[in-house]
Amino acid sequence: MAPERWRHHLDYLITLLGGSIGSGSLIKFPYLCMRNGGGAFLIPYAIFTFLGAIPCVFLEMVIGQLSQSGPINVWNLCPPFKGIGFGIATVMWLYVTYYMAIFAWFMYYFYHSFIAKLPWATCDNSWNTPACITNIDSSILNSTSANVTNLTLIVVNTTTTGNYTNVTDTVMTAAEEFWKLQALQMTDGLEDLGGIRLPFVGLMAVTCVVMFLVTFQGIRVSGKVVYVTVGVPIILVFVFLIQGCLLPGSADGIYFYVHPKFEKLLEPGMWIEACSLALYSLNIAMGNIITMAGHNRVTNNCFRDVLIVSIADMLCLILVGFAFFAIIGHVAYLRGVPVEAYESSGFNLAFIIYPEVMTYLPLPHVWSALTFLALMTLEVDSMLPGLEIILAAVEDMFRGLAKHRWAVISTILLTNFLFALPCTTQGGIYVVTLMDWYTYFPAVAVFAMLECVAVSWCYGLERLNQDIRAMWGKKVPQAMMLSIKYVCPLLLLVRLQTMVNRKQY
């Protein structure tokens, strides 16, 4: 049975771009730039994108389009490696499971952005402790610069997690107390999950309904939805950039971003992290490139597509960096601290730093709502391909179920919902972090290495070249093939080693 076709080729490109950007672009990229010398980080990131990421994406596009199938049957070209497809489908099921919980967290913050008084802006709420530190008011800002500097440094460096410097074990900002004491009602560790947070259960149920409505009609609907879920965040990033540039201090933030600290290039860790980001940002070995390419016509030019998607993804990340550092520059100016003071990653950046930063902007409710709207739409872009991959894997194994797509998707979402319930407990953040560390990120690097080995060493690059000439009648540069065979496995090995030694959050 022939696979469902894209109504328009642009639907395919936008879907891949949405899956590549994801909510991680607003979390991971700014942190890595700040951590690694601003503009200097863009140099190795661009190098590894062209040297390793583009060849890997090209490989997946070619075999997906050639096989015209999902993540399991694609390995009919090299049957001993069919386990890659089963592994990818399993990992993507776990991925969608804990991303549903993260999406519920974003929705929780989006809802609270419409409350008359932002709950993470003040310390007079019922959950706040006596040690809570609120944002600096105008009277303090008008005091002497020395006092402002002393106070704001304490405010910035009070968290006990992430990359902050501990001042005390009890002092937390209002934004941190809202996240830990009100939103999560966080326990002390994984061994104590506590009770279920009913608001998150309800929001996850809403998430399941939304994802069902988007996916049950196939790529005819989801291929159009991505125009919204990709377009809205990009428009909002432009809005943030324009607004940020109009605020005092934004130039300092942008200068930090674009001014390269070339001495950072001498640090091996910077190159390793740039390599990891380049390979991560394009969703290599996550199955969505293979699955989405399987809906193309066999004669489609994959080489053109991989250049479009990869370069567009890089430009979007760079744009996010400009918007982020413009806003951070303004907040650092108000507080009298350097831009580097806001170095944080993962959940700390998304649920503590971002909400706190929004309180310093004009009309904070509007900016907070827009921020979490962007994160929610990007999270949809991340989950959509995941569901399509799982569905394609099921159809690869049980062809008859293709006629009952709605039932299969309902079953998948129901199992995701049930297994995500531990993520909605008071210790749910520990469960999400554990799944992130040990089931998702290390696995995809292993699968990517196996893909390169299976195609370049077992199937053979010469046979692959013949297939490419038969598909669209043109050869690809020999450097691309050599990179797939030699360079990509080495870079993926480096990325795997990085994941083993360093946690993602």
Residue 113 has pLDDT above 70, yes or no: yes
The CA distance from 277 to 397, in Å, is 33
Residue 218 has pLDDT above 50, yes or no: yes
Mean pLDDT of the chain: 84
Find the helix packing angle between 268-281 and 488-501, rounded to 10°.
110
**Local confidence band at 148 (pLDDT 50, 70, 90 cut-offs):** very low
Tell me if 317 sits within 8 A of 378, measured CB to CB: no
Mean pLDDT, range 128-150, rounded to an integer: 52
pLDDT for the residue numbered 145: 35
Residue 159 has pLDDT above 90, yes or no: no
Window from 140-149, 408-417, 464-473 with minimum mean pLDDT: 140-149
C-alpha dihedral sign at 395, 72, 294, 443: positive
**Tens digits of per-residue pLDDT, 99-111?**
999 999 999 999 9
pLDDT for the residue numbered 137: 38
The label of the residue with tokens 């669209």 reads 472
Residue 79 has pLDDT above 70, yes or no: yes
Q: Residue 251: how many CB atoms within 10 A of its CB? A: 14
Mean pLDDT, range 144-157, rounded to an integer: 35
Mean pLDDT, range 383-392, rounded to an integer: 91
Looking at per-residue confidence, does 343 or 169 come out higher? 343
**Local confidence band at 275 (pLDDT 50, 70, 90 cut-offs):** confident
pLDDT for the residue numbered 135: 55
The CA distance from 420 to 432, in Å, is 9
pLDDT for the residue numbered 441: 67
Residue-by-residue DSSP string for 39-91:
HHHHHHHHHHIIIIIHHHHHHHHHHHHHHTS-TTGGGGGSGGGTHHHHHHHHH
**Local confidence band at 1 (pLDDT 50, 70, 90 cut-offs):** low
**The pair of three-digit structure tokens given for residue 155, joined into one six-digit string:** 């405010």
In 428-467, DSSP assigns E strands to none
Percentage of the chain surpassing pLDDT 90? 45
Radius of gyration of the chain (CA): 23
**Tens digits of per-residue pLDDT, 3-49?**
788 989 999 999 999 888 877 767 788 888 888 878 889 999 999 99
pLDDT for the residue numbered 75: 93
**Local confidence band at 482 (pLDDT 50, 70, 90 cut-offs):** confident
**Tens digits of per-residue pLDDT, 388-442?**
999 999 988 888 777 888 899 999 999 999 999 999 999 999 999 888 877 766 7
| Domain boundaries defined on the chain | 9-124+196-501
Name the CATH topology of 9-124+196-501.
Amino acid/polyamine transporter I (1.20.1740)
- This prediction has a pTM of 0.86
Residue 291 has pLDDT above 50, yes or no: yes
Between the CA of residue 391 and those of 13, 366, 385, what are the distances in Å? 20, 37, 10
Looking at per-residue confidence, does 500 or 488 come out higher? 488
pLDDT for the residue numbered 486: 86
Residue 290 has pLDDT above 70, yes or no: yes
The label of the residue with tokens 């990009």 reads 234
Looking at per-residue confidence, does 439 or 234 come out higher? 234
Phi, psi of 246 (to 5 degrees): -85, -5
**Tens digits of per-residue pLDDT, 323-377?**
999 998 988 888 788 888 777 767 888 898 889 888 888 889 999 999 999 999 9
Mean pLDDT, range 175-199, rounded to an integer: 92
